[in-house]
């Protein structure tokens, strides 16, 4: 059965459809003291695929409970799909007694599963923190699907780390150039500045591609620079549309034409699903098991 976390309802349903597997109905309750109680009352079968994005602290607790619920109900094989892995950006200690948060989370999740599927974690190396096998799925190509017809397109990464994603989207779209900005983030204030590349943008449609829009600082800075430099439509595309707090209004103020995201985090701008690519990993995993 496909077992959804509360934040991955649509994606889990789409994944059930893609794989032909039954969709469980989980319940998510709270005790009066605030503790979480996630359960899967109608679970049947001996294998479970828990699909739960971890976009909040509560979502991590819920995921651990869903893993345990299906074990308790008889599942002897558990696959855990984490469409968006929170804390993945704290993949090393930055000093001052800070933890490696991604490692702490991975260790906890590994205790309740036989396998993990991650969708575009911030760095693939985060997979090494798990003590069970991990499939890292690259879903960037789906971002090309909702793009309109573009004029002389430029696919631009707001920093060097996202250039691979920008190239994948360009390849999936079928034409256009790629380039990237240099980014600096002040760790104290979170303020972002970008140094534009030399690529001419005047009158061109520019798709700014990143793995995540969180506070929107990076994306709005890039969009603002492109708008000032006379770009045509500037489209913000990301795999993980966290769009926390005022990110949407910051992007609109900067002049963005539209925001395009996937359903790894379910938001209003989640206009395309990663279900087809995640389904491939889940089904391939099942074939290995049966073999």
Query: Quick one: 154 or 208, whose CB is closer to ligand R5P?
Result: 208
Read off φ and ψ for residue 282, nearest 5 degrees.
-70, -45
CB of 191 to ligand R5P, least distance (A): 10
* Of 51, 64, 143, 214, the one binding ligand R5P by CB under 6 A: 214
What mask, x for binding ligand R5P by CB under 6 A, covers residues 154 to 193? ----xx-xx-----------------------------x-
Q: 3-state class of 38 per DSSP?
A: strand
Among the listed residues 103, 170, 183, 204, the single catalytic one is 183
Q: Report how far residue 112's alpha carbon sits from residue 77's, in angstroms, rounded to the nearest whole number.
A: 10
> Within 13 Å of residue 234, how many CA atoms lie on the same side as its CB?
25
Is there binding between residue 251 and ligand R5P (CB under 6 A)? no
CB-CB neighbours of 76 under 10 Å: 11
Distance CA 262, CA 248 (A): 15
CB closer to ligand R5P out of 159 and 205: 159
Residue 210 sits at the vertex; the CA angle it makes with 177 and 10, to the nearest 5 degrees, is 120
CB 170 to ligand R5P: min, Å: 17
State the Cα–Cα distance between residues 236 and 228, nearest whole angstrom. 16
Is 183 annotated as catalytic? yes
Considering the rule CB under 6 A, would residue 19 count as an interface residue with ligand R5P? no
Residues that bind ligand R5P (CB under 6 A): 89, 158-159, 161-162, 192, 210-219
Residues serving a catalytic function are 183
């Amino acid at each position: 059965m496909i077992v959804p976390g509360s934040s991955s309802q649509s994606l889990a349903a789409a994944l059930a459809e893609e794989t032909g597997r039954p969709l469980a109905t989980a319940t998510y309750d709270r005790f009066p003291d605030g503790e979480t109680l996630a359960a899967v009352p109608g679970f049947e079968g001996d294998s479970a695929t828990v699909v739960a994005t971890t976009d909040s602290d509560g979502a991590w607790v819920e995921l651990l409970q869903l893993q345990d619920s299906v074990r308790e109900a008889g599942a002897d094989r558990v696959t855990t799909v984490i469409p968006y892995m929170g804390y993945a950006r704290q993949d090393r200690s930055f000093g001052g007694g800070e933890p490696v948060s991604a490692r702490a989370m991975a260790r906890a999740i590994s205790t309740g599963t036989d396998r993990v599927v991650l969708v575009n974690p911030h760095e693939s190396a985060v997979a090494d923190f798990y003590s069970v096998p991990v499939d890292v799925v690259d879903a960037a190509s789906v971002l090309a699907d909702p793009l309109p017809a573009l004029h002389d397109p430029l696919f631009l990464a707001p920093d060097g780390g996202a250039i691979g994603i920008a190239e994948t989207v360009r390849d999936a779209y079928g034409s256009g150039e790629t380039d990237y900005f240099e980014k600096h983030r002040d760790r104290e204030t979170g303020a972002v500045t970008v140094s534009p590349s030399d690529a001419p943008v005047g009158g061109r449609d520019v798709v700014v591609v990143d793995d995540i829009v969180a506070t929107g600082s990076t994306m709005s800075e890039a969009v603002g620079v492109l708008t000032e430099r006379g770009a045509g439509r500037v489209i913000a595309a990301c795999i993980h549309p966290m769009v926390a707090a005022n990110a949407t209004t910051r992007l609109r103020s900067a002049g963005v034409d539209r925001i395009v995201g996937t359903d790894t985090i379910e938001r209003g701008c989640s206009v395309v699903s990663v279900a087809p690519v995640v389904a491939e990993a889940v089904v391939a995993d099942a074939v290995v098991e049966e073999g």
